[in-house]
């Protein structure tokens, strides 16, 4: 699949003066609930009203959505508010029913994107539709799998396409429900700059008080839109209670978000920017030079270890280095998270060098 301008035509044609906003409850619960939220979102920046009707849940016995009945409620939302509507589809039957009920946009969830068989089934059922289809990232941080899923949908003739970044599952404890792994989203944009990329801060954070910060971070990284779960009584929602915001909070979030432009042509700005970028280029070259020197020293240690038959991994020494560097980093305004990531990568490279020497 190649990047093509046509992939973003559906969004460009909307001529929005703000990021695309998709909002509405995690789950459609009752007709009254759906309509009440829709009416509260009616005269806001919201472009698409969302509600899940088929809910993939981690464990059986949890609320799995109202099913096809909810499609009628979404039709009512359209009729009463004029808002476009969207929902998640997870198999060919869902697609068929959603298209029959003229749902304006569909999305494929993270638990479906992981499965090439399901993606192919959904792609076949979507064949030829002109409705926009958004594909969420798979639960695991695998860019190729995400792009493969999008390619299946695109290859079946769906030209109005988009992607939703909802973060990635981790075993490790984290302040996020799903780790954003922003680098992966940046790589996505580098490869496919014309696939509209929508951020889902609700699933990334799992907590409503973090939704604003993640939304702002996404806009700062040139995301095209936001999907934010919204409920008039979040605490009593039937699913994902902790992460939903009220319609009035959503309006406030949209008001407070800063939308930044791509660049500024002013000469003074351009000159100052170029000066600082020249500095960064010099420093980056120095960093590479220093890392190269470090590996030469490591190669020397590798040769010594080979002679004396000593193991490559020296945990005590390594932990001392990590501890020292975290403290050193603090003095230079560098976060512990960054220092640990960087030094773990350096350590691995050092080990690879020594492995080559010892086994060479």
Instruction: Using the minimum distance from each CB to ligand PRE, give the nearer residue, 96 or 317.
Output: 317
Backbone angles phi, psi at 342, to 5 degrees: -65, -45
Say whether 136 sits in a helix, a strand or coil: strand
Instruction: Using the minimum distance from each CB to ligand PRE, give the nearer residue, 56 or 300.
Output: 300
When binding is defined by CB under 6 A, the residue of 26, 48, 298, 329 that contacts ligand PRE is 298
Q: Is the CB of residue 64 less than 8 Å from the CB of residue 90?
A: no
Instruction: Using the minimum distance from each CB to ligand PRE, give the nearer residue, 69 or 310.
Output: 310
Q: What is the DSSP string of 74-121?
A: HHHHHHHH--EEEEEE-SHHHHHHHHHTT-SEEEE-HHHHT-HHHHHH
The reply to whether 182 sits near ligand PRE by the rule CB under 6 A is no
| Nearest residue to 97 (alpha-carbon basis) of 69, 128, 56, 66 | 69
Site for ligand PRE in 26-45 (CB under 6 A): none
Instruction: Using the minimum distance from each CB to ligand PRE, give the nearer residue, 197 or 312.
Output: 312
For ligand PRE (CB under 6 A), the number of binding residues is 12
Site for ligand PRE in 315-354 (CB under 6 A): 317-318, 321, 347, 350-351, 354
When binding is defined by CB under 6 A, the residue of 144, 267, 296, 313 that contacts ligand PRE is 313
The C-alpha atoms of residue 158 and residue 305 are separated, in whole angstroms, by 58
Stretch touching ligand PRE by CB under 6 A, among 10-18, 202-210, 264-272, 311-319: 311-319
CB within 8 A of 242, min separation 6: which ones? 206, 207, 208, 234
Q: How far is the CB of 287 from ligand PRE (least distance, A)?
A: 16
The reply to whether 301 sits near ligand PRE by the rule CB under 6 A is yes
Instruction: Using the minimum distance from each CB to ligand PRE, give the nearer residue, 186 or 304.
Output: 304
Q: Is the CB of residue 228 less than 8 Å from the CB of residue 209?
A: no
Say whether 20 sits in a helix, a strand or coil: strand
Phi-psi region of 351 (alpha: psi -120 to 50; beta: other; left: phi over 0): alpha
Residue nearest ligand PRE, Cβ-based: 350
User: ∠ CA 84-87-88 to the nearest 5 degrees?
Assistant: 155
Q: How far is the CB of 329 from ligand PRE (least distance, A)?
A: 16
Stretch touching ligand PRE by CB under 6 A, among 130-138, 208-216, 268-276, 308-316: 308-316
Stretch touching ligand PRE by CB under 6 A, among 133-141, 192-200, 246-254, 314-322: 314-322
Residues in contact with ligand PRE by the rule CB under 6 A:
298, 301, 312-314, 317-318, 321, 347, 350-351, 354
């Amino acid at each position: 699949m190649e990047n093509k301008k046509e992939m973003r035509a559906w969004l460009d044609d909307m001529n929005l003066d703000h990021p695309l906003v998709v909002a509405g409850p995690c789950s459609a619960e009752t007709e009254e609930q759906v309509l009440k939220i829709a009416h509260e979102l009616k005269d806001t920046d919201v472009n698409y009203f969302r509600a899940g009707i088929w809910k993939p849940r981690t464990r059986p016995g949890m609320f799995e959505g109202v099913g096809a009945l909810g499609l009628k409620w979404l039709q009512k939302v359209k009729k009463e508010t004029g808002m476009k509507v969207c929902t998640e589809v997870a198999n060919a039957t869902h697609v068929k029913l959603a298209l029959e009920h003229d749902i304006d946009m569909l999305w494929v969830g993270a638990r479906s994107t992981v499965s090439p068989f399901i993606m192919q089934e959904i792609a076949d059922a979507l064949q030829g539709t002109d409705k926009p289809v958004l594909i969420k990232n798979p639960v695991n941080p695998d860019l190729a799998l995400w792009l493969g899923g999008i390619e299946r949908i695109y290859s079946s003739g769906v030209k109005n396409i988009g992607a939703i970044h909802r973060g990635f599952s981790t075993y490790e404890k984290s302040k996020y429900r799903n780790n954003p792994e922003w680098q992966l989203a940046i790589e996505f944009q580098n490869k496919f700059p014309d696939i509209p990329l929508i951020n889902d801060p609700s699933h990334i954070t799992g907590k409503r008080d973090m939704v604003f910060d993640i939304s702002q971070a996404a806009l700062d990284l040139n995301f095209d839109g936001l999907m934010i779960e919204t409920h008039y009584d979040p605490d009593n929602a039937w699913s994902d209670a902790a992460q939903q915001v009220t319609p009035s909070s959503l309006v406030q979030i949209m008001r407070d978000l800063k939308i930044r432009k791509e660049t500024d042509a002013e000469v003074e700005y351009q000159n100052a920017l170029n000066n600082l970028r020249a500095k960064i280029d010099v420093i980056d070259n120095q960093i590479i030079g220093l890392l190269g020197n470090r590996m030469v020293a490591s190669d020397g240690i590798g040769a010594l270890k080979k002679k004396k038959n000593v193991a490559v991994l020296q945990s005590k020494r390594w932990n001392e280095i990590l501890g020292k560097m975290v403290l050193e980093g603090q003095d230079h305004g560098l976060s512990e998270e960054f220092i640990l990531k960087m030094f773990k990568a350096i350590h691995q490279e050092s080990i690879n060098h020594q492995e080559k020497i010892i086994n060479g």
